[in-house]
């Protein structure tokens, strides 16, 4: 049966004390909204609708960065969750199958939980996701008998007896799309907040003689992010889970509590990750690679047998083939390093292609930017780039070529050639003592003048 998603992402999040829409605050390098969209994507939805409001343009851009095909509707006034879902009605007109409503600020709902809700739809017209709360606080309460759900009571409207219930509402709901939109269209706002509650669809469905059910999950899945403290809590929860999964999948983390993963980080079995490594978005580390301490990686691919660091930075577009060595204080950006390349230390390679077996000496820089445009450097196979070489792009160094240390290379170097691009050394015999004496005299005079 086809599935549609409605993701509510209209809130301003005033408790975040931020100009940024709440759902665009980041956990694991990705907006909260992307976490929700990723969870929903596991259901292979035929249609995804994001309800935006505050900062709608930015929210829309972020949503389409994850899913270009998703629909965007705007809730101009935030009049409650039921009102928000109603805004999606035109985008879902004529759509068959079930609809799942998710929240852009609730990042940890597991795909398995959503699948359990869809399974429960075979038994109930409306299915709500609930959890047993350690501290129920101001959550809405689920009035249920076993799996059968009688109604949902918002905290503001609950009696003292109802507030004593610990089975709470996550807000996530599943129903037949046409039925959900029909029920939402009949919602009223006769409640303490004067809002249109999505939760009221349970009672409306039961009035029609339809059944409602509840599926429960661990409370940790329902963590909503409304404050900076909760954002930090969400980050910690994500990292703890990602580290545990990496270890379970055969990755060595020598100091797990110091490694930070992004939402989409992929690390292969038998890879070794040292202390204080940070993964930004878009990183793949193949099996058997090693990332040493204090490295930062983003938008890059590291192949089997390669090793990186310590203190290295791989930026977007860095592609390391098998058995590449990138050492300490090396930065790679938008560059392809073929098999066996060695870049030992203190080097910047940006917008470059480096052939297999080439050695890059310390202090090498590809001078790729002229102040207006970026230019590419191409280095062939088994070349030797001497320490402190400046490669002024666009420039090509051929297979097996060599550049002398301290050279500034501004023209192409043919295969097998040696290129020297430095000033001739001048030696003045006996001049050093005289110069030191002159410098001492100048220093003494400055010290006297300072008094």
Binding site residues, as ranges? Answer: 8-11, 22, 75, 80-81, 103-105, 140, 154, 169, 226, 315, 333, 348, 359, 362, 368-369, 387, 405, 422
Binding-site residue numbers for acetyl-CoA are 362, 368-369, 387, 405, 422
Among 64, 62, 43, 66, CA closest to 54:
62
Separation of alpha carbons 156 and 295, rounded Å: 49
Of 49, 42, 85, residue with least CA distance to 70:
49
> Mapping DSSP to helix (H, G, I), strand (E, B) and coil, where does residue 85 land?
helix
Which residues belong to the active site?
345
Residues present in the chain in total: 451
Dihedral sign, Cα of residue 50, residue 27, residue 319, residue 321: negative
CA gap 265, 258 in Å, rounded: 16
Are the CB atoms for 353 and 332 separated by under 8 Å?
A: no
Give the number of other Cβ atoms within 10 Å of residue 27's Cβ.
23
In DSSP notation, 297-341 reads E-S-EE-TT-EE-SS-EE-TT-EE-TT-EEEEEEEEEEEEE-TT-
Give the span between the Cα atoms of 285 and 269, in whole angstroms. 9
d(CA 161, CA 182) in angstroms, rounded, equals 32
Q: Phi first, then psi: what are they for 32, rounded to 5°?
A: -50, -40
Q: Which residues fall in the annotated binding site for Mg(2+)? A: 105, 226
Q: Using CA atoms, how far apart are residues 60 and 67, in angstroms rounded to an integer?
A: 10
Residues placed in the known binding site for UDP-N-acetyl-alpha-D-glucosamine = 8-11, 22, 75, 80-81, 103-105, 140, 154, 169, 226, 315, 333, 348, 359
User: Can you name the residues that pair with 285 across neighbouring β-strands?
Assistant: 267, 302
């Amino acid at each position: 049966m086809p599935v549609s998603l409605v993701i509510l992402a209209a809130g301003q999040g005033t408790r975040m004390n931020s100009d940024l829409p709440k759902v665009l605050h980041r956990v694991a390098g990705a907006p909260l909204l992307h976490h929700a969209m990723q969870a929903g994507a596991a259901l292979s939805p035929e249609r995804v609708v994001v309800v935006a409001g505050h900062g709608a343009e930015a929210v829309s851009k972020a949503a389409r960065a994850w899913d270009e095909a998703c629909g965007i509707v705007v809730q101009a006034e935030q009049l409650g969750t039921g009102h928000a879902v109603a805004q999606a009605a035109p985008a879902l007109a004529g759509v068959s199958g079930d609809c799942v409503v998710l929240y852009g600020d609730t990042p940890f709902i597991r795909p398995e939980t959503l699948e359990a809700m869809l399974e429960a739809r075979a038994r109930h017209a409306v299915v709500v996701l609930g959890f047993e709360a350690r501290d129920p606080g101001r959550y809405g309460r689920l009035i249920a008998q076993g799996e059968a759900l009688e109604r949902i009571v918002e905290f503001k409207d609950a009696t003292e007896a109802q507030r004593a219930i610990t089975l709470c509402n996550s807000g996530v709901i599943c129903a037949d799309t046409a039925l959900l939109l029909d029920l939402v269209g009949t919602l009223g706002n006769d409640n303490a907040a004067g809002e249109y509650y999505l939760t009221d669809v349970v009672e409306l469905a039961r009035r029609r003689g339809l059944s409602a059910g509840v599926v429960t999950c661990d409370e940790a899945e329902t963590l909503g992010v409304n404050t900076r403290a909760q954002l930090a809590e969400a980050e910690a929860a994500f990292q703890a889970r990602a580290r545990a999964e990496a270890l379970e999948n055969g990755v060595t983390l020598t100091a797990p509590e110091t490694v930070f993963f992004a939402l989409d980080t992929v690390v292969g079995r038998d890879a070794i990750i040292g202390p204080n490594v940070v993964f930004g978005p878009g990183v793949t580390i193949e099996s058997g690679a090693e990332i040493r301490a204090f490295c930062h990686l983003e938008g890059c691919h590291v192949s089997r047998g390669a090793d990186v660091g310590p203190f290295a930075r791989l930026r977007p577009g860095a592609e390391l083939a098998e058995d590449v060595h990138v050492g300490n204080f090396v930065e790679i950006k938008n560059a392809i390093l073929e098999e066996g390349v060695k870049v030992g230390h203190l080097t910047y390679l940006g917008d470059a292609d480096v052939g297999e077996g080439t050695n890059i000496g310390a202090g090498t820089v590809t001078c790729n930017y002229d102040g207006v445009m970026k230019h590419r450097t191409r280095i062939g196979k088994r070349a030797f780039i001497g320490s402190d070489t400046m490669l002024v792009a666009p420039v090509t160094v051929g297979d097996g070529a060599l550049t002398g240390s301290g050279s500034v290379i501004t023209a192409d170097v043919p295969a097998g050639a040696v290129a020297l691009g430095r000033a001739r050394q001048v030696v003045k015999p006996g001049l050093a003592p005289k110069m030191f004496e002159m410098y001492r005299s100048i220093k003494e005079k400055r010290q006297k003048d300072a008094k």
